[in-house]
Chains A and B, each alone.
Chain A
Amino acid sequence: MMKTAFLAFLETRINQLLKLDPVTIEALRSLDGSVIHFNCLQPEFQCYVFLDALGVRCAGWHEGSVDVTFQGGASSFIELSADRVSAWDSIKGLNVSGDPEVIAALESAHRKMELDWESLICERIGPVAGHTLVEGMRLIASTFVGAGESLSAQGAVYLQDELKVIPSEPELSAFSREVDALRGSVEHLDERLNKS
């Protein structure tokens, strides 16, 4: 029942988002009747997405044939949802198989997708609060992106500086050999002193 509940929730959200992008709805309408199978290998999870004129329908069971199968780990599905520029076959760990025409149409729709998520927020909480929230989210996101870029740049400088003072591997090996030789000489001297 948990899976059924999750899929019901997912279906509602996907259809809400699709309503914000008439171009994608039109593209999916041309695929009316297609069945897409999502097979996540790790963690194990399967679901079927049915495309029709009214949007998408998600189901945990399907006994007929499928048009396209997406198979891979959770990380590859996350990459698929985040990366709308790269070709699907370049996404590591993701295997897309099935009807080439449907795959091409889906890939094209995925690339052109422009979901107006701001209007969804504004619809829910009102235009003033919605835009304020969206601006806040943008500010937080840009702060994180800036902090990430700064950390990355400063990290590179730090590593370059550190490289100047950190001894290289051959220097460490030579130093280690010298320490061994000194220890051997000290032991040898100690033996001679004990004898005399």
Chain B
Amino acid sequence: MTDKVRDQDKTHFGYKDVKPDDKEKLVAGVFHSVADSYDAMNDLMSMGVHRLWKRFTIELSAVRKGHQVLDIAGGTGDLTKQFSRLVGDTGRVVLADINDSMLRVGRDRLIDQGIVGNVEYVQANAECLPFPENTFDCITIAFGLRNVTDKAEALRSMCRVLKPGGRLLILEFSKTNNPLLTKAYDAYSFSLLPAMGKLVAGDSESYRYLAESIRKHPDQATLEAMMKEAGFVNTTYHNMTGGIVALHKGIKP
């Protein structure tokens, strides 16, 4: 059996099995479709709690003036905006996203808010980050890893571009450990979420994919093991909102 997902016959796209190279195009289609209404839908779907999840991520990042930060799958730039303030004029934040629609929405939004000077925009695939080794003090990927075709390869790539002692923070939907909460969450994500997606973004399929991709994403312990496998040490994770979301942290030795 081969380790690389791209060498295998199939991978998952939500609950469907697809060819690894097709997954990228299908995910791109989803994000092209939702890019313009992404922020509104995030607020609606999480009832605004996604702001607290991201705020906690910023707190744990320990980013300070002069740091180099990479925000992978940065989308509409929520984290980049905060990091830009933290790193100051002497630091740099790179907002990277594989999807040009998301990157365009994020760039326009940040420029409109006057966040310029220390932010760069790069269209990049997390599996092969186009940066030299030991470049960044901190890397974040918020709600993006589950859409990556080869997660293990992406983690190795992140470890490569991090400086020794630098930290990786992965904010991602995860698994609840409360059966009641799980039932309620399933009902919400498979019934209400696609309906809201149709109503607000005019697209129920993309939000059905969101719910399915969350279920296919590795649970907390599995993701932590994957981080260790990729070379990270001192790995930990914090469950938030009953485990609906987890924040994983790892340090490059």
Contact = CB atoms under 8 A, between A and B. Distances in A.
A8 B51 contact: yes
A155 interface: no
B52 interface: yes
Interface string B40-58: 0000000001011001101
A48 to B, nearest CB: 9
B56 A1 contact: yes
B6 interface: no
B62 A33 contact: no
A59 B60 CA distance: 9
- Determine chain B's interface SS by DSSP, over half rule: helix
Contact of A64 (B51, B56, B62): B62
Contacts of B55: 4, 8
A168 B76 CA distance: 79
Given A1-B240, A1-B241, A61 B59 contact: yes
B65 interface: yes
Contact of B60 (A1, A52, A61, A64): A61
Interface extent on A, as a size class? 10 to 19
Contact of B65 (A33, A61, A62, A63): A33
A8 B82 CA distance: 13
Contacts of B240: 1
B85 A4 contact: no
Contacts, number: 27
Contacts of A61: 59-60
B59 A8 contact: no
A94 to B, nearest CB: 26
B177 to A, nearest CB: 16
B12 interface: no
A59 B85 contact: no
Given A60-B59, A61-B59, A1 B52 contact: yes
Interface in A150-176: none
Contacts of A8: 51-52, 55
Contact of A52 (B58, B85, B241): B85
B64 interface: yes
A5 interface: yes
Nearest to B58: A59
Nearest to A3: B56
Contact of B56 (A4, A54, A62): A4
B152 to A, nearest CB: 28
A26 B40 CA distance: 36
Contact of A54 (B52, B64, B85): B85
A63 B58 CA distance: 12
B147 to A, nearest CB: 25
A1 to B, nearest CB: 6
Interface string A50-91: 001010010111111000000000000000000000000000
A5 to B, nearest CB: 6
A5 B52 contact: yes
A5 B56 CA distance: 10
Contact of B59 (A52, A54, A59): A59
Contacts of B51: 8
Interface in A1-21: 1, 4-5, 8
Given A54-B85, A61-B59, A61-B60, A4 B65 contact: no
Given A1-B52, A8-B51, A62-B59, 18 more contacts: A1-B49, A1-B56, A1-B241, A4-B56, A5-B52, A8-B52, A8-B55, A33-B65, A52-B85, A54-B85, A57-B85, A59-B58, A60-B59, A61-B59, A62-B62, A63-B62, A64-B62, A64-B64
The 10 closest A-B pairs by CB, nearest first: A61-B59, A59-B59, A63-B62, A4-B52, A4-B56, A5-B52, A4-B55, A1-B52, A1-B240, A8-B55
26 contacts: A1-B49, A1-B52, A1-B56, A1-B241, A4-B52, A4-B55, A4-B56, A4-B59, A5-B52, A8-B51, A8-B52, A8-B55, A33-B65, A52-B85, A54-B85, A57-B85, A59-B58, A59-B59, A60-B59, A61-B59, A61-B60, A62-B59, A62-B62, A63-B62, A64-B62, A64-B64
